[in-house]
Amino acid sequence: MFMKRLFVEGFGMYMPFQTAHPLMLLVRKGLNPRFYLSSFIPSLFILLTIPTLAYGFDVLRPIDTKGLTTLNVRLSSKAIHPPREFVVTTHNLPDITIAKPMVGPPSKSAILENDQRHRMVVLTSEESGNITVYVLDNIDLAPYLQTLRALTANRGCAHDRMTITGGLGCVAISLKEIIEAEILP
């Protein structure tokens, strides 16, 4: 590329420019670059105040998030067995089968936690094919195990071979829906 040294009046010094530089085009036309740089801040101020004028000052108030929490699912390719002192109850799910993914290693564990990273449930796929549910919080999952079995059958977790939404991830998403709908509210 062809480089030129050009005296820019707005900056008061020589600066190297490529032939297609935007500031060079401004200088060639006799326009002052300082004008465009100095008008940037007022235009930015105007653009930021338009939502405040349109919606009032509610835009500036923080959103009240007390009581609003969702569960997040984290998958792991390693089998996670939490320490016994953290486990409140344990459930075995031998009749729920999960599919192995078409690509990549299967998920061995799924952690259900809230937005503050407080872990509530850990699902672990054992070598025998059974799923072990470790409950780490004071929630009672025993009445909802039949609902979990029916929900995983309706979702087709035994046949869904997608990497994230199938297999153990499918069971974890089903359990997440049950906990959010029945236990947390």
DSSP readout, 39-69? THHHHHHHHHHHHHHHHGGGGGSPP--TT--
Residue pair 137/82 in contact (Cβ under 8 Å)? The answer is no
14, 18, 19, 23: CA torsion to nearest 10: -60
Residue 67 belongs to some domain of the structure = no
Please give the helix or strand (H or E) that residue 33 lies within, else none: helix 33-38
In this structure, the answer to whether residues 119 and 38 fall within a common structural domain is no
Is residue 131 exposed (0-12), middle (13-18) or buried (19+ Cβ within 10 Å)?
buried
Q: Which of 60, 82, 104 is the last residue of a domain?
A: 60
Would you state the pLDDT for residue 122?
Answer: 95
Q: Please list, in sequence order, all residues whose beta carbon lies within 8 angstroms of the beta carbon of residue 176, skipping any fewer than 6 positions away.
A: 71, 73, 112
Residue 24 belongs to some domain of the structure = yes
Q: Which position has the token pair 């707005």?
A: 10
Q: How many CB atoms lie within 10 A of CB 54?
A: 8
Would you state the pLDDT for residue 18?
Answer: 47
Q: Please list, in sequence order, all residues whose beta carbon lies within 8 angstroms of the beta carbon of residue 124, skipping any fewer than 6 positions away.
A: 79, 80, 81, 108, 109, 131, 132, 134
Residue 164 belongs to some domain of the structure = yes
In this structure, the answer to whether residues 35 and 98 fall within a common structural domain is no
In this structure, the answer to whether residues 155 and 96 fall within a common structural domain is yes
Q: Which of 19, 39, 60 is the last residue of a domain?
A: 60
91, 182, 118, 163: CA torsion to nearest 10: 70
- At 143, is the secondary structure helix, strand, or coil? helix
In this structure, the answer to whether residues 89 and 128 fall within a common structural domain is yes
* Residue span of the structural domain in which 153 resides: 72-183
In this structure, the answer to whether residues 122 and 37 fall within a common structural domain is no
Task: Tell me how many domains the chain contains.
Answer: 2
What stretches in the chain show pLDDT beneath 50? Answer: 1-3, 7-8, 10, 17-20, 59, 63-65
